[in-house]
Amino acid sequence: MSGKLRRFPGGLHLDGHKTESTQCAVQRARLPRRLILPLHQHIGAEAKSVVMAGERVLKGQMIARAEGYVSAPVHAPSSGTVVEIGDRPVPHPSGLSAPCIVIETDGTEQWCERHPVQDYITQDPSHLRNLIREAGIVGLGGAGFPSFIKLNPLGKTVDTLILNAAECEPYITCDDMLMRERAAEIIHGIQIMRHALHAAHCIIGIEDNKPEARAALVRALQELHIDGIQVTQVPTRYPAGGEKQLIHVLTGKEVPSNGLPVHIGIVCHNVATAAAIYRAVQHGEPLISRYVTVTGSGVPEPRNLEVLFGTPMAELLEQCGADPASVERLVMGGPMMGFGVHMPGVPVVKTTNCLLADRHLPAAPAAMPCIRCGACAEACPANLLPQQLYWHAHAGEFDKAQNYNLFDCIECGCCAAVCPSHIPLVQYYRYAKGEIWTREREKQKADVARERHEFRLARLAQDKAEREARHAQKKAELAGKTAPHETTSH
């Protein structure tokens, strides 16, 4: 299994800015007075609230259930009282509000009843998947896709389970710190994943700028006497942690365009997800907290905090010595793929890996016309032609952009970072993707409207036919009434 490493195309060497936030041990964030829990913290359908305002809830109690297959429940991160269910600002690039459950904490941290499973190895994988689903676990590396789905081999043979520990984006160190401090939990979680997937091989892919984390993983593997998990260092080059990029580097295999890794026998999970799965299965604890990196030029004491979901971001900034009012720009995620948060009062959610707070922002240089230098294509790790995508997105020719594999773009931002004309390329791709999705939605809505309209026309025609039939019948009856007279007269 120890093959040589490949190289993915493009990519960038970026300033890591990681040491700032790895100087001190991870601390628990202070328990806030109010926790604000969005019902939609994952990819898929919004969860549905199962509590009412005024209800007392316990730590770990499910407060919103999954709605449909691709969805995830939400749990109370601490004990207290539900004080409100309604729209609140959430961390989202739109700055809009969305349905949230607000809990006023009581400070007792009283747990609900937990059902740990000690001997997971004797459990049926589908039972484990169910536990993981009920625990609300979603991918903690980025997008928040419900993890139980990616633990179902769906009849395919999974050759390799890859654990993504690359954490390639600058400033973000939450996975690094988790590996240093909770390596054993990660390894236990990986064992559960291997069991669920029947994966033959298992590789943890970690960038070579995290020697302490790597050492901690290797030590944990030795202490736990676990074989079959290989820790492989990959060169530090952004975006080595992109799923397709990491798979390529570690195995040499290419995930086909529009395809999933499982189609080539590979499943990829984040290391933090593995730790969450361990806590869910062996401690019966649902996903209610995570490590969050709080860093950036506006943060005097950058560090990682263990944060309950629903904690307002402003409180984390304060705990790290920052004054939220003096922060000029707050980004959720890293500098390359994160998005601006409009107000610091929004809560930390399952996909919040990092808060990047900057005090002074250099003005963005003005965009100039594209000079077709091709630098973007050289930097693109997905083998795309960014300038073509840009031309077509700019011109509103979305089908052409799609023909250039727009949807293979991982929005890593390498192209925009090297563009000498400072064109905000990724924004154009997001715009084009959004337009395509909107049109798809509108088309579906139009199809429904067409059907309803045709149905209405049919109904009106039917009504008319019935009316006419009634008239005809009445006429016939009238005719019938006069007819007997005639017969009797004979």
Partner 1 sequence: MLSAIIAFTALAAVFGLILGFAAIRFRVEGDPLVNKIDALLPQTQCGQCGYPGCRPYATAIASGEADINQCPPGGEAGIIALADLLGRDPKPLNAKHGTLKPKMVAVIDEPLCIGCTLCIQACPVDAILGAAKQMHTVIEQECTGCELCVAPCPVDCIRMEPVQHDIKTWKWQTPLEAAGGHA
Residues that bind partner 1 (CB under 8 A): 40, 90, 92-94, 96, 98, 367, 393-394, 396, 424, 427-428, 430-431, 433-435, 437-439, 441-442, 445-450, 452-459, 461-462
For residue 38, cis peptide bond before it (omega within 30 degrees of 0):
no
| Residue 402 C-beta: closest distance to ligand SF4, Å | 13
CA 319 – CA 224 distance, rounded (Å): 36
| Residue 43 C-beta: closest distance to partner 1, Å | 12
Interface with ligand SF4, residue 64, by CB under 6 A: no
Interface with ligand SF4, residue 434, by CB under 6 A: no
- The CB density around residue 357, as the number of other CB atoms within 10 Å, is 26
Which CB sits closer to partner 1, 24 or 469? 469
| Residue 90 C-beta: closest distance to partner 1, Å | 7
Q: Which does 76 bind (CB under 5 to 8 A by kind): partner 1, ligand SF4, none?
A: none
Is the CB of residue 113 less than 8 Å from the CB of residue 62? Answer: no
Which CB sits closer to ligand SF4, 241 or 344? 241
Which residues, other chains included, contact 459 with Cβ-Cβ below 8 Å and sequence gap of 6+? none
Which CB sits closer to ligand SF4, 148 or 428? 428
CA 364 – CA 40 distance, rounded (Å): 32
Query: Cβ-count burial of 486 within 10 angstroms (0-12 exposed, 13-18 middle, 19+ buried)?
Result: exposed
Interface with ligand SF4, residue 370, by CB under 6 A: yes
Which CB sits closer to ligand SF4, 38 or 338? 338
Using the rule CB under 6 A, which residue among 76, 271, 332, 410 binds ligand SF4? 410
Residue 308 three-state SS: strand
Interface with ligand SF4, residue 229, by CB under 6 A: no
Interface with ligand SF4, residue 406, by CB under 6 A: no
CA 282 – CA 96 distance, rounded (Å): 38
- The CB density around residue 470, as the number of other CB atoms within 10 Å, is 10
CA 216 – CA 208 distance, rounded (Å): 14
| Residue 357 C-beta: closest distance to ligand SF4, Å | 24
Interface with ligand SF4, residue 178, by CB under 6 A: no
Interface with ligand SF4, residue 420, by CB under 6 A: yes
Query: Cβ-count burial of 161 within 10 angstroms (0-12 exposed, 13-18 middle, 19+ buried)?
Result: buried
| Residue 227 C-beta: closest distance to ligand SF4, Å | 37
Which CB sits closer to partner 1, 127 or 459? 459
Closest by CA position to 348, among listed 32, 19, 23: 32
Contact positions vs ligand SF4 (CB under 6 A): 370-376, 379-382, 384, 386-387, 389-390, 409-415, 419-421, 423, 425-426, 429
